[in-house]
Structure 1
Amino acid sequence: MSGGHDERDEWYDEGLEGAAEERTFAALPPAHGRGFAVTWWGQAWLKALEDTALDNAQLKAGRRLARSGAVGAVSVRPGRITAVVSDRDRTGHRSDVLLQRLTDDEWDRFLDMAVERAGHIAALLDREMPPHLVEDAAAAGVELLPGIGDLEPECSCDAWDHCAHTAALSYQLARLLDQDPFVLLLLRGRGERALLDDLQVRSVARAAQTGQDEPERSADSGGREREREPEGARGVPAGEAYATGGILPPLPPLPVLPESAGTPPSLDTETAPAPGVDASAVEFLAAAATAEAHRALAEALAPGHAPIGPAAALTVAEDAVRLAVDAVRLAADAGADADVRVLARLAEGTGRDREGLRLAVLAWELGGAAGLAVLEEVWTPQGETAARARAALESAWEEGERPALRADRNRWTLAGGGAQLRLGRDGRWWPYRKVRGRWVPAGDASQDPATGLAGAGEG
């Protein structure tokens, strides 16, 4: 078949837009000295290919390409597999093999059959496809494996039948089918997760229906009443019951965001706290944790929010920095009404005095973690960073208007004045003002040194 788009494309690809799943497999290593299919279902796939192709020479050429590792990454989606296959001269060809997807009605029959026979599910989860699964599906009117003429080729080399490229792709797919029969089910239209979710829903519904029958009761030889299974009731083999435990139910709906964080329970009780336990500090931490949880939930439920991945591992030093920053954030959240003892504990825990904690809170409120780093970190600009800083200072003021600044590493202090510029590692300039002998954050950061110095009330 030519590589152009025709009516048959529409027949195979109808509804593929927005398909639930696509899997991409990295290029497999060369298959020297081994067959392409070991499992019986992989061999059935190759039989469908070899019975369909009209030119055995193209099949042999395809086997040579597949064995040499000429098939690139393989993309599998409902109704189609795709890969770039390279000739010996390294010319790449986009190659596709199409297989008709099962209809919704066929999927319903297959899933109903699978729910009735939990052993089929256990086999699939073990990456097996026993013959009786395919036979039971066929009895339900569902053909899982392809037959003669079912594998339709498309290739950019414009061959009208299976060429060496589509044959190589088909041989490579047989190796993937050996590893995971769910690849065939995806090609037929359903991905593994969607399939297992649907099976779980049907299993629950079936259990609810069969569970409505009340067990009959009878008397044993001693006259004691005992339950008797309903006529025709059958047990479930342990292997089948265990296999269905791996099918996870659908996720519950997202929780509704409360209007506020709420108030943790009070610890002001008649029982005195244990020695060394500061009840007011515990209450403060509980309230802060509640507020942070509410803030995190609001962010997670916001439209367009990306999924939260696993947290990155922290070194001991990074963890200490994070805890110090969290203490400042907690103090900032506490505000002016915080218990004096709580603020003293936070200051002590971060190695600051009360005034140092107040300055850290001010820096946090002005610039978050970046503002806090500028308050406490002294570093020396080097290389390109130093050149950029000098250029910014030279161009910030007109000739004759430039103030006299005394440089000390990343800090430039106005000569004879109470203002200072601090360069952050992000290239922004932070204004500081001297108050009662201590440098105090005076405003937001700026990309322009003149604007920053003006923020300190100078320049």
Structure 2
Amino acid sequence: MAAVRQFGSTWWGRAWVDALEGRAKLDPNRLARGRTYARQDRVARVEVGPGKITALVRGNRALPYKVTIDVPTYGDDDWVRLAAVIAKRSGIAAALLDGELDPAVIDDAEAAGVRLLPGPGDLKPRCSCPDWADPCKHAAAVCYLVADALDADPFVLFTLRGGTKEGLMGLVRAQRAWDAQQAAAGDRPGAAGSGSSEAPAVGPGGTGRMVAAAFGGGAVVDPGMVAREAWARSLAPHPERRELPRAPGTPSTWPADPPRDAPFTAAGLTDLASDAARRAWAQLAEGSPSYLDLDEQTDLARRAADRLGRLESLLELSRRVGASSAQLTHQALAWRSAGPAGLEAIEEALWRPPTEVIDQGLDAFDEAGIDPDDVQVRSNRLTSGDVQLRVSSDGQWWRFERRGRVWELVEPPAPTPSDLLSGG
């Protein structure tokens, strides 16, 4: 006889189920029917977002019922307090990144005034069915399946609370950096912040701005300390500084290959180590950014740019990430021309600039010896032969050139279109 499927195989998944069942004490029969619906695969399109879970549940009628479950989200101060709790215990952050939720974080967070796991009153289900129960069997079925998502990834809890994995860990890193700065300042007589016990969490600048940057689509809170500054600072005793090498170093060969079931390879680890060495060296030697705040797609373009001119290496990266080599090359050329701004330029949708802006572009073609009547104007793009100028919504002008069937970005932007056509 097959075992009956249970929900909540981890302690945090079980805590979610307990919150659901605690809400439904007045009518436990709905829970049993909800579990049956979940086991019968009647639930589809479960989506977990900030403060909300939505799904469709197939009942006894032709059209499925729509279920929405609201969960309270955190405010800025809650996120900052939670980041401070995690920053104090390195084991908590390590466990989270490894897909585990350390029970200590629950007690520590609650002591700081932040409740991580929802209580019985936190889940507010709504369903399009006529059943008056709270929750109805359809909403209960959805809640049980959310326990599966939590079992697989505890960061789903933070998503429900209105945050992201990257944003939370960015706040944690920023908190640790701030703590280190305060500790260093306290060791220097007369330094700002010395002896202060009221330093704001996550550094100066206001918690709202820090949290908005982490979760609102802006730059990640902690882009990493510039290596040149880290090299010069005296946060702790360190060996005598050596002269900066002329080129980044090469990682040593791994003593053994990783296990066959590992989610990485020895070559992949070497690639990451080499990339880290190149970025650190560029920070020290040239003052380049760390680029630790890039999203996955932008960072992929940066890595591809390092492989331009090395076809096999570019194709290997393409195979590894499952992306088209042509698209990777397109994005890599944009990165090489203008970094992250170049990627934004090639992806910006068509828009209609003011007439005077278009006239400025036509005048630039005229000055370059090209009859404006021969220039094709389409929204924010002006094309003559194999040369195209685009004006972005921030007022910058960009030069593209046709290579095969693709328009490639070929140089950094300019404030005026004539700067991009002089000599060309």
Instruction: Please classify the TM superposition score into its range, dividing by the shorter chain length.
Output: 0.3 to 0.5
CA radius of gyration, larger in: 1
- Length-normalised TM-score, structure 2: 0.46
- Length-normalised TM-score, structure 1: 0.43
